[in-house]
């Protein structure tokens, strides 16, 4: 390897393997540089297209005004004008807890009402049972042997008991 101090390295200064390796590295570096340039141009084009998409004639003040008008009913309901932005997420939890408490109270009163209805129907059922027992006793009292004999005598029929000899089965 001989080198002249006034001239840069030439291709003749290296053997063929080293020269081809250097040439490949130069090609790789040039390809990388071109790829980077293309990526930069792509990013610039994307930023321009994003700006075109977002730039539809509104500025931030108008967007803020539209957002406030849209959220005004929600702000009135949730007292958002009183609360700071940092406490609004906790306020939603507070509303959820309040709804659960309301549901709990509602279910408690519903169960009390159901219990009252059950007791009312239970009392009615016990009254019906007592009436049924009284009717059964009345029917039994009308069907005793003395009551049957009395009715038969009123109609002129005499009741006679079977003799013990006529029975097939002994008691």
Per-residue model confidence as pLDDT tens digits over 42-81 = 777 777 766 655 555 557 777 777 776 666 665 656 555 5
Provide the whole-model pTM: 0.35
- Tell me the C-alpha distance between 171 and 164, whole Å: 10
- Tell me the C-alpha distance between 125 and 131, whole Å: 10
Per-residue model confidence as pLDDT tens digits over 102-159 = 999 999 999 999 999 999 999 999 999 999 999 998 888 777 778 888 888 898 888 7
């Amino acid at each position: 390897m001989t080198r002249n101090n006034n001239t840069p390295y030439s291709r003749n200064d290296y053997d063929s393997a080293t020269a081809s390796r250097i040439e490949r590295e130069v090609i790789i570096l040039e390809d990388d540089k071109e790829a980077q340039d293309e990526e930069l141009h792509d990013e610039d084009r994307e930023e321009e297209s994003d700006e075109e998409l977002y730039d539809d004639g509104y500025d931030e003040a108008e967007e803020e005004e539209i957002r406030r008008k849209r959220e005004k009913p929600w702000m009135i309901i949730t007292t958002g004008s009183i609360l700071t932005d940092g406490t609004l997420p906790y306020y939603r939890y507070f509303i959820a807890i309040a709804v659960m408490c309301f549901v709990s109270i509602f279910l408690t009163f519903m169960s009390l009402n159901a219990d009252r209805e059950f007791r009312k129907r239970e009392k009615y059922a016990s009254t019906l049972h007592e009436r049924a027992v009284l009717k059964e006793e009345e029917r039994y009292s009308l069907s005793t042997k003395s009551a049957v004999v009395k009715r038969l005598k009123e109609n002129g029929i005499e009741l006679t008991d079977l003799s013990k000899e006529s029975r097939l089965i002994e008691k």
